[in-house]
Amino acid sequence: MKGGWSGGGGGAAGRPGTRRAGPAPDFEPAGELVRRLLGRGGAPAQRRVAQIWAEAVGEENARNARPRSLRGGRLVVTTSSPIWAHALQMMAAEIVARLNRLLGEELVREAVFRTAGWEALDDGGVGKGGSAAAAPGPPGTARRRLTEEEEAAVAAVRAQACDETLGERIAAAMRAALETRPR
Protein backbone atom coordinates (compact mmCIF):
# COMPACT_ATOMS: atom_id res chain seq x y z
CA MET A 1 0.00 0.00 0.00
CA LYS A 2 1.65 3.24 -1.13
CA GLY A 3 2.05 6.08 1.33
CA GLY A 4 1.42 3.84 4.32
CA TRP A 5 3.66 2.70 7.07
CA SER A 6 3.69 -0.58 8.86
CA GLY A 7 4.49 -0.01 12.46
CA GLY A 8 4.75 -2.24 15.46
CA GLY A 9 1.97 -0.65 17.42
CA GLY A 10 -1.19 1.13 16.56
CA GLY A 11 -2.10 0.92 12.91
CA ALA A 12 -5.30 2.31 11.45
CA ALA A 13 -7.45 0.50 13.94
CA GLY A 14 -4.84 0.40 16.72
CA ARG A 15 -3.89 -3.18 15.86
CA PRO A 16 -0.20 -4.14 15.65
CA GLY A 17 1.12 -4.72 12.15
CA THR A 18 -1.72 -3.00 10.35
CA ARG A 19 -1.14 -0.17 7.90
CA ARG A 20 -2.39 3.31 8.28
CA ALA A 21 -3.02 5.70 5.49
CA GLY A 22 -1.06 8.93 5.09
CA PRO A 23 2.57 9.99 4.98
CA ALA A 24 5.36 8.17 6.78
CA PRO A 25 6.44 9.55 10.18
CA ASP A 26 9.20 12.17 10.20
CA PHE A 27 12.11 9.78 9.70
CA GLU A 28 15.10 10.94 7.73
CA PRO A 29 16.84 8.39 5.50
CA ALA A 30 20.21 7.41 7.02
CA GLY A 31 22.20 8.55 3.97
CA GLU A 32 20.65 12.01 4.07
CA LEU A 33 21.25 12.26 7.80
CA VAL A 34 24.93 11.35 7.43
CA ARG A 35 25.41 13.81 4.55
CA ARG A 36 23.68 16.57 6.52
CA LEU A 37 25.76 15.96 9.67
CA LEU A 38 29.04 15.71 7.78
CA GLY A 39 28.28 18.93 5.94
CA ARG A 40 28.50 20.79 9.27
CA GLY A 41 32.26 20.52 9.48
CA GLY A 42 32.53 17.17 11.23
CA ALA A 43 34.57 14.32 9.79
CA PRO A 44 35.40 15.92 6.41
CA ALA A 45 37.15 18.84 8.14
CA GLN A 46 39.08 16.42 10.37
CA ARG A 47 39.98 14.32 7.34
CA ARG A 48 41.20 17.41 5.47
CA VAL A 49 43.40 18.40 8.43
CA ALA A 50 44.83 14.88 8.61
CA GLN A 51 45.59 14.92 4.88
CA ILE A 52 47.66 18.11 5.07
CA TRP A 53 49.11 17.57 8.55
CA ALA A 54 52.62 16.51 7.47
CA GLU A 55 52.84 19.36 4.97
CA ALA A 56 51.75 21.87 7.62
CA VAL A 57 54.08 20.75 10.41
CA GLY A 58 56.91 18.88 8.65
CA GLU A 59 57.64 15.15 8.45
CA GLU A 60 59.46 14.77 11.77
CA ASN A 61 56.77 16.63 13.68
CA ALA A 62 54.07 14.60 11.92
CA ARG A 63 55.75 11.37 13.07
CA ASN A 64 55.52 12.61 16.65
CA ALA A 65 52.13 14.35 16.65
CA ARG A 66 48.77 13.25 15.26
CA PRO A 67 45.59 15.29 14.94
CA ARG A 68 42.80 13.52 16.88
CA SER A 69 39.72 15.74 16.82
CA LEU A 70 38.45 19.02 15.46
CA ARG A 71 35.34 20.45 17.10
CA GLY A 72 34.21 24.03 17.04
CA GLY A 73 37.54 25.13 15.58
CA ARG A 74 39.53 23.46 18.41
CA LEU A 75 42.09 20.95 17.11
CA VAL A 76 43.31 18.37 19.63
CA VAL A 77 46.63 16.76 18.73
CA THR A 78 48.22 13.82 20.55
CA THR A 79 51.99 13.58 20.77
CA SER A 80 54.53 10.84 21.40
CA SER A 81 56.00 12.52 24.47
CA PRO A 82 55.67 15.52 26.78
CA ILE A 83 58.62 17.14 25.01
CA TRP A 84 56.81 17.10 21.68
CA ALA A 85 53.58 18.36 23.28
CA HIS A 86 55.41 21.28 24.88
CA ALA A 87 57.46 22.20 21.81
CA LEU A 88 54.49 22.09 19.46
CA GLN A 89 52.22 23.94 21.89
CA MET A 90 54.74 26.79 21.80
CA MET A 91 54.27 26.82 18.02
CA ALA A 92 50.47 26.47 18.10
CA ALA A 93 49.69 29.87 16.57
CA GLU A 94 52.07 29.27 13.66
CA ILE A 95 50.74 25.75 13.10
CA VAL A 96 47.12 27.00 13.12
CA ALA A 97 48.02 29.69 10.57
CA ARG A 98 49.74 27.14 8.31
CA LEU A 99 46.86 24.69 8.54
CA ASN A 100 44.28 27.34 7.66
CA ARG A 101 46.43 28.62 4.79
CA LEU A 102 46.74 25.11 3.35
CA LEU A 103 43.04 24.40 3.92
CA GLY A 104 42.08 27.65 2.19
CA GLU A 105 39.69 28.58 4.99
CA GLU A 106 39.66 29.24 8.74
CA LEU A 107 38.66 25.80 10.03
CA VAL A 108 41.12 25.70 12.93
CA ARG A 109 40.81 28.38 15.60
CA GLU A 110 43.20 26.88 18.17
CA ALA A 111 45.41 23.82 18.58
CA VAL A 112 45.98 21.93 21.82
CA PHE A 113 48.78 19.37 22.10
CA ARG A 114 48.49 16.49 24.58
CA THR A 115 50.81 13.65 25.42
CA ALA A 116 49.48 10.26 24.40
CA GLY A 117 52.64 8.34 25.21
CA TRP A 118 52.81 6.37 21.97
CA GLU A 119 56.11 5.85 20.24
CA ALA A 120 57.13 7.85 17.21
CA LEU A 121 56.67 6.10 13.90
CA ASP A 122 60.32 6.21 12.89
CA ASP A 123 62.83 3.59 13.97
CA GLY A 124 65.68 5.67 15.16
CA GLY A 125 65.91 8.67 17.21
CA VAL A 126 64.21 11.03 19.44
CA GLY A 127 60.68 10.36 20.53
CA LYS A 128 61.09 6.60 20.30
CA GLY A 129 60.41 4.84 23.55
CA GLY A 130 63.37 6.17 25.48
CA SER A 131 65.72 8.93 24.50
CA ALA A 132 63.45 11.96 24.55
CA ALA A 133 60.23 10.36 25.69
CA ALA A 134 60.71 11.22 29.34
CA ALA A 135 59.58 14.56 30.67
CA PRO A 136 62.23 17.06 31.73
CA GLY A 137 63.20 16.94 35.38
CA PRO A 138 61.81 19.29 38.00
CA PRO A 139 63.00 22.90 38.22
CA GLY A 140 66.51 23.18 39.58
CA THR A 141 67.56 19.80 38.21
CA ALA A 142 71.24 19.72 37.29
CA ARG A 143 71.94 19.98 33.59
CA ARG A 144 74.45 17.85 31.74
CA ARG A 145 76.19 17.99 28.38
CA LEU A 146 74.46 16.14 25.58
CA THR A 147 76.15 13.12 24.09
CA GLU A 148 77.21 13.19 20.44
CA GLU A 149 74.29 10.90 19.63
CA GLU A 150 71.82 13.23 21.36
CA GLU A 151 73.28 16.29 19.61
CA ALA A 152 72.95 14.47 16.29
CA ALA A 153 69.32 13.62 17.05
CA VAL A 154 68.54 17.24 17.94
CA ALA A 155 70.23 18.43 14.73
CA ALA A 156 68.33 15.89 12.65
CA VAL A 157 64.99 17.00 14.07
CA ARG A 158 65.87 20.65 13.58
CA ALA A 159 66.81 20.00 9.94
CA GLN A 160 63.46 18.28 9.30
CA ALA A 161 61.34 21.22 10.45
CA CYS A 162 59.35 22.96 7.77
CA ASP A 163 60.80 26.35 8.70
CA GLU A 164 63.78 27.71 10.60
CA THR A 165 61.87 29.14 13.58
CA LEU A 166 59.95 25.93 14.15
CA GLY A 167 63.16 23.91 13.96
CA GLU A 168 64.94 26.16 16.44
CA ARG A 169 62.11 26.00 18.97
CA ILE A 170 61.76 22.25 18.77
CA ALA A 171 65.53 21.79 19.05
CA ALA A 172 65.63 24.06 22.11
CA ALA A 173 62.85 22.11 23.82
CA MET A 174 64.52 18.79 23.02
CA ARG A 175 67.90 20.01 24.22
CA ALA A 176 66.42 21.32 27.50
CA ALA A 177 64.68 18.01 28.15
CA LEU A 178 67.73 15.94 27.34
CA GLU A 179 70.04 18.09 29.48
CA THR A 180 68.03 17.33 32.61
CA ARG A 181 67.68 13.62 31.91
CA PRO A 182 70.10 11.27 33.69
CA ARG A 183 72.43 9.24 31.47
pLDDT band at 32 (very low <50, low <70, confident <90, very high): low
pLDDT at 118: 65
pLDDT band at 41 (very low <50, low <70, confident <90, very high): very low
pLDDT at 42: 47
Between 110 and 42, where is the model more confident? 110
Q: Which helix (H) or strand (E) holds 65?
A: strand 65-71
Domains of the chain from N-terminus onward: 39-179 (3.30.300.180)
pTM for the full predicted model? 0.47
Report how far residue 150's alpha carbon sits from residue 180's, in angstroms, rounded to the nearest whole number: 13
pLDDT at 38: 52
The pLDDT tens digits for 109-154 are: 999 999 886 655 443 333 333 333 333 444 445 678 888 888 888 8
pLDDT band at 168 (very low <50, low <70, confident <90, very high): confident
Tell me which DSSP letter residue 177 carries. H
Between 95 and 119, where is the model more confident? 95
Q: Which residues of 141-165 are buried (b: 16+ CB within 10 A; e: fewer)?
A: eeeeebeeebeebbeebbebbbeee
Report how far residue 82's alpha carbon sits from residue 116's, in angstroms, rounded to the nearest whole number: 8
